[in-house]
């Protein structure tokens, strides 16, 4: 099966990107937070961000950092194209790396002020509290390592239309690799799964001096 995993900080646009990929390219979307939402609803609890955060922390503390990944895996069906959204720890990535060895990990990024401006009623309205979530996820689960592990970065500081155009470029390049690697940097060789700093999609790196 083809597999793509999308990560990013709150309101970076990762869900918007994932919805576009799923709708246009026929991927079945599975979101880590949906597992927590369903568990809360089954218990009659309101699936607020705070409640999902608390349940996720409890599961990872009691059953291991890959506990949510294992629960999500039970929902995955062999549809040929799998899209995983919102990992919070390296253990979750490694779990699905084992499940899908050629899985591509993409991060969707946006400037802090852009992300804060996109907040909804479900998010903290206070700037300090909004960004405390980033710090908590980085400290408690290793979200910073997850984002650093991405092989490709799609910047989302403009419009949804611009984001979708970048995704189309990514998906077009991904198809040229024929399963050898998950995708290619535009105009360059395929990027290895590990050992490389992520590239920003749609922008070439400047060649080193003398090359």
Give the mean model confidence (pLDDT) for residues 60-83.
94
Judged against a pLDDT cut of 80, whether residue 26 lies above it is answered with yes
Give the mean model confidence (pLDDT) for residues 61-69.
96
Identify whether 79 is part of a domain. Answer: yes
The whole-number pLDDT of residue 186 equals 31
Identify whether 207 is part of a domain. Answer: no
The whole-number pLDDT of residue 124 equals 66
Number of domains in the chain: 1
Give me the residue label for tokens 């950092």. 65
Q: Which of 168, 150, 127, 105 is nearest to 11 (CA)?
A: 127
Identify whether 209 is part of a domain. Answer: no
The whole-number pLDDT of residue 188 equals 29
Identify whether 137 is part of a domain. Answer: yes
Q: Which of 3, 10, 152, 156 is nearest to 88 (CA)?
A: 10
- Domain of 186 in residue numbering reads as 2-200
Given the DSSP bridges, would you call strands 2-7 and 104-109 parallel, antiparallel or unpaired?
Answer: parallel
The whole-number pLDDT of residue 42 equals 96
Instruction: CATH number of the domain at 47, please.
Output: 3.40.50.300
Judged against a pLDDT cut of 70, whether residue 205 lies above it is answered with no
Question: pLDDT tens digits, residue range 151-162?
Answer: 999 999 999 999
Identify whether 194 is part of a domain. Answer: yes
The whole-number pLDDT of residue 71 equals 97
Tokens of 18: 């994932």
Question: pLDDT tens digits, residue range 140-191?
Answer: 678 889 999 999 999 999 999 999 999 999 898 765 333 334 443 333 223 3
CA distance 41 to 17: 26
Identify whether 206 is part of a domain. Answer: no
Identify whether 35 is part of a domain. Answer: yes
Identify whether 65 is part of a domain. Answer: yes
The whole-number pLDDT of residue 194 equals 38
Torsion of CA 122, 126, 130, 131, to 10 degrees: 170
The whole-number pLDDT of residue 174 equals 60
Q: What is the DSSP string of 125-185?
A: SSHHHHHHHHHHHHHHT-HHHHHHT-SEEEE-SS-HHHHHHHHHHHHHHHGGGTTSSS-B-
Give the mean model confidence (pLDDT) for residues 71-89.
94
Question: pLDDT tens digits, residue range 83-128?
Answer: 999 999 999 999 999 999 999 999 999 999 999 889 887 776 778 8
Computed on alpha carbons and rounded to an integer, the radius of gyration of the chain in Å comes to 17
- Say how many CA atoms lie within 13 Å of 36 toward its Cβ: 24
């Amino acid at each position: 099966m083809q597999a793509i995993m999308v990560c990013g900080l709150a309101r970076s646009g990762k869900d918007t990107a994932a919805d576009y990929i799923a709708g246009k390219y026929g991927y079945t979307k599975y979101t880590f937070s949906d597992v927590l939402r369903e568990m809360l609803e089954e218990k009659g609890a309101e699936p607020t961000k705070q409640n999902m955060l608390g349940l996720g922390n409890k599961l990872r503390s009691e059953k291991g950092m890959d506990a949510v990944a294992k629960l999500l895996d039970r929902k995955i069906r062999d549809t040929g194209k799998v899209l995983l959204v919102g990992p919070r720890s390296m253990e979750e990535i490694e779990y699905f790396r084992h499940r899908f060895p050629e899985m591509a990990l993409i991060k969707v990024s946006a400037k802090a002020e852009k992300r804060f401006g996109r907040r909804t009623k479900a998010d903290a309205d206070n700037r300090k509290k909004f960004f405390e979530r980033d710090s908590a996820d980085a400290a408690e689960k290793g979200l910073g390592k997850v984002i650093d592990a991405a092989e490709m970065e799609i910047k989302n500081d403009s419009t949804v239309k611009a984001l979708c155009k970048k995704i189309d470029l990514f998906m077009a390049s991904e198809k040229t690799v024929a399963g050898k690697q998950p995708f290619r940097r535009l105009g360059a060789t395929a990027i290895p799964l590990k050992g490389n700093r992520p590239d920003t999609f749609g922008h070439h790196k400047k060649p080193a001096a003398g090359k």
